[in-house]
Structure 1
């Protein structure tokens, strides 16, 4: 029987200076190196799933990396711990480079633990090359089932018990998918929590797979964001129409990308994932299309899309460096049911609005898509091609364990504060409010001042506001 072994590989302490890093050198301190069986930290439900149906002689090892950030001069002070859970899935924790933003604020009063969620950063990263070590698509799928929120919470609990004095509770800040993990934490290990802050991260918690409901709910906000974008930059309507027509008329229905993939009209629409959902996304998207065409410097030369644009397109998505996102995205919504390419099915229901080629031919604005993963991406994106079979197996997987416990959430005793962004394109407002009603005692800050990236964009304002909700600086009403 194949097993998975868990270890805390390294723990780095990082001093966050109050002046720019170039003026104050940082240091790293080795904290612990501890090896333990995964079953030692998992609950009974997860422990039962820690074996694979292969040879007992084969052991897959998962190491987890965390980094502690503190303000210079407070390295040895007794301060509460705050665990930060990054958005994703499939993205590592931020790397501190300067004393600014929410991290700087948090470090003034906390020891901030930046956890690389398993499969990311330095926590046994699942890259396009490392996953090729698997002998088959099924073996990869059997491995990936250990990389969801339930086991991320188990990792956090294992580290908390080792790190916090007397294994006491700590605070958790969850952004986006990190907030989903925070609600899983409240469901299965509330004893480890002192306070929880959620920013754009209240998940749908219905039984089965809620992916289809999520995508159906998000279609409206996606259309709205497209309309707002074109209202701000009406000149881009014609530019994007021309690009779509050029791609459609090219040999093979697209143009080659630098990595070896192909850019098609539907692939172009993926730019909406980053361009439409964050506060500076409109501007970045507009400036990207400013340089979509190569200049014609030789009379009669063929019009073509610039290398600059093609290279920038690939860098926008990080599918080559963080393929776990594409593979696992739909599974974050699944409890005991398969997703069956939910986004692809929902898009088909709205193809009259989302068909890029048809829109361009009819002179209508081409609408970009949002946070959706489609099966054809595993054909058109070079880094994802080796994992097409695994992706198809994952979306048919039905036996996903539960991620939430409504009974526990209804009886929640942990103080929780959440920022709910009214115009969030990634986490639907209405679905978030439905779940919030299930979490006893939660305090909500509903705002349209920020979008999904509010924690990053709002400096320390968002975190300050949530902390004030729980420490009495904001009135109860």
Structure 2
């Protein structure tokens, strides 16, 4: 079978397969084109390029089954277009990797498929070591597909070293623009048509940014969905750039989390002030990190990205600060931040291994508008509240920041320095395509269940509830039992609750 991808609008057409060589393009001049081989419906204009893509072994390869305790796994690799738009044959292809997971003994059973979309942007899917958490629960009923979203894991990964192959910032931006939710969804559909028997619709589980992708899926390819589960993943769906609204709301929650942290560990107020004063007073305004970057007062604040929003984050942060200073072994030796702390600081962050997160983060909120370093703009609205040097001099709590990317990070974080120019171009870019279709969501018919975490530091509760009101038929589970990491911390319970809501076994509101 030869699958056809059609781009354009203005006339209805029913097309699925034609016996054409892979990657060949057809130029349709007729206003209306039909075939009886399928009931799928697309749209195209007069004179629309159509690319035919085969289901040959060249596009999909799979490995042998292997095992971890209580699970069988099989690897799949798909050659997908970098650019799905019409006439983009010269853009080439990339590899997208997906891992199939079932309970041991169920390898050949006919099971419904569940696609897992990981949070991010830019993070790979989990690597199972055993049957545990939500995955164990899901495998009781499903054949789970763990997708490494394009650019992550084994899907033509975009790392600091691989991105360095781009010879100019302009070319890098042209490449990176294809790594948002719209193309992740197209990859998912590409895979579903080749992997799922009879190309049946599947269930999608989206965590955090994976939930954003799932809502994009609901907007543009609902025919591929049997049901959708969202955990901390309801995005803002307004037009333009919604990043300002997101960060303005998120800063309020970040302030609340800072207050909770210092109430838990009041001794850390003095410790953090000492660190900030030390960093501000040393030559150059900071100290060198093991990787070659620089730890500055503003850099210290980004520990809140992981320290304030996940279960156990408060404790990890506090114990890091316990070992911030080197002991004085020789009388008269200068006070120094320990190598232990500096190494722990870098290990806490993922920018070295995942520059895609820093480069693309604000773009996930953009549709036909630029972000213009939105987080930095909103931070400035808080005047001195997030000024670390001023807070330390006044002996008041130094507030950490949250899930925000700032332009100075491309100066201070070694792995990001080569991408500074590209980062500014991405912040200025205006022609981002749409990620959501509110009209489609208003008439949604796909069963959707969502966990909304009341104290979510990353996906604001009020914005999530506003989006939920635009998705017809959505079933909500609002809870303060879990933070943003609910699927990781209480996976079986969260998964069972959402599935129970879809199946009518659990109450919902």
Report the counterpart of residue 348 of structure 1 in structure 2: 380
Kept in 2, the 8 Å contact 1:199–1:420? The answer is yes
SS of the residue 1:444 aligns to = strand
Inter-partner Cα distance in structure 1 for 2:311 and 2:170: 40
SS of the residue 2:86 aligns to = helix
Q: 1:99 deviation in Å?
A: 1.2
Report the counterpart of residue 457 of structure 1 in structure 2: 489
Q: 1:459 deviation in Å?
A: 3.2
Shift in alpha-carbon separation, 1:435–1:120, aligned structure 2, 3 A: same
Instruction: Find the partner of 1:368 among 394, 400, 412.
Output: 400
Shift in alpha-carbon separation, 1:360–1:410, aligned structure 2, 3 A: same
**1:242 partnered with 2:274:** yes
Q: What are the equivalent positions in structure 2 for 1:409-428 lying under 5 Å apart? A: 409-428=441-460
Inter-partner Cα distance in structure 1 for 2:347 and 2:165: 25
Inter-partner Cα distance in structure 1 for 2:320 and 2:503: 43
Kept in 1, the 8 Å contact 2:80–2:95? The answer is no
**1:119 partnered with 2:151:** yes
**1:403 partnered with 2:403:** no
SS of the residue 2:160 aligns to = coil
SS of the residue 2:452 aligns to = strand
Q: 1:47 deviation in Å?
A: 3.4
Report the counterpart of residue 182 of structure 1 in structure 2: 214
Q: 1:12 deviation in Å?
A: 5.1
Inter-partner Cα distance in structure 2 for 1:289 and 1:373: 23
Shift in alpha-carbon separation, 1:290–1:83, aligned structure 2, 3 A: same
Deviations 1:319-346 (A, max 9, x none): 0100000000000000000000000111
Relative CO higher for 1 or 2, CA cutoff 8 Å, sep ≥ 6? 1
Shift in alpha-carbon separation, 1:159–1:176, aligned structure 2, 3 A: same
Instruction: Find the partner of 1:227 among 239, 259, 267.
Output: 259
SS of the residue 1:94 aligns to = coil
Q: 1:351 deviation in Å?
A: 3.0
Q: 1:299 deviation in Å?
A: 1.8
Inter-partner Cα distance in structure 2 for 1:151 and 1:341: 23
SS of the residue 2:417 aligns to = helix
**1:359 partnered with 2:355:** no
Structure in which a larger fraction of residues adopt helix: 1
Report the counterpart of residue 103 of structure 1 in structure 2: 135
SS of the residue 1:352 aligns to = coil
Instruction: Find the partner of 2:161 among 120, 129, 138.
Output: 129
Report the counterpart of residue 243 of structure 2 in structure 1: 211
| Structure-2-length-normalised TM-score | 0.86
**1:326 partnered with 2:365:** no
Report the counterpart of residue 436 of structure 1 in structure 2: 468
Report the counterpart of residue 198 of structure 1 in structure 2: 230
Shift in alpha-carbon separation, 1:355–1:193, aligned structure 2, 3 A: same
Report the counterpart of residue 164 of structure 1 in structure 2: 196
Inter-partner Cα distance in structure 1 for 2:131 and 2:67: 6
Q: What are the equivalent positions in structure 2 for 1:293-304 lying under 5 Å apart? A: 293-304=325-336
Report the counterpart of residue 467 of structure 1 in structure 2: 499
Instruction: Find the partner of 1:65 among 97, 105, 111.
Output: 97
Kept in 1, the 8 Å contact 2:231–2:487? The answer is yes
Kept in 2, the 8 Å contact 1:15–1:75? The answer is no
Kept in 1, the 8 Å contact 2:441–2:470? The answer is yes
Deviations 1:270-303 (A, max 9, x none): 0000000001100110111111111112222111
Shift in alpha-carbon separation, 1:241–1:292, aligned structure 2, 3 A: same
Kept in 2, the 8 Å contact 1:149–1:184? The answer is yes
Kept in 2, the 8 Å contact 1:267–1:377? The answer is yes
**1:263 partnered with 2:302:** no
Whichever of the two has the greater Rg, that structure is 2
Report the counterpart of residue 47 of structure 1 in structure 2: 86
Q: 1:34 deviation in Å?
A: 5.3
Kept in 1, the 8 Å contact 2:73–2:101? The answer is no
Q: 1:476 deviation in Å?
A: 5.3
SS of the residue 2:428 aligns to = coil
Report the counterpart of residue 153 of structure 1 in structure 2: 185
SS of the residue 1:395 aligns to = helix
Gaps (5+ residues) in structure 1?
none
Deviations 1:336-385 (A, max 9, x none): 00000000111111131100000000010000000000000000000000
Q: 1:9 deviation in Å?
A: 6.0
Inter-partner Cα distance in structure 2 for 1:83 and 1:141: 29
SS of the residue 1:62 aligns to = strand
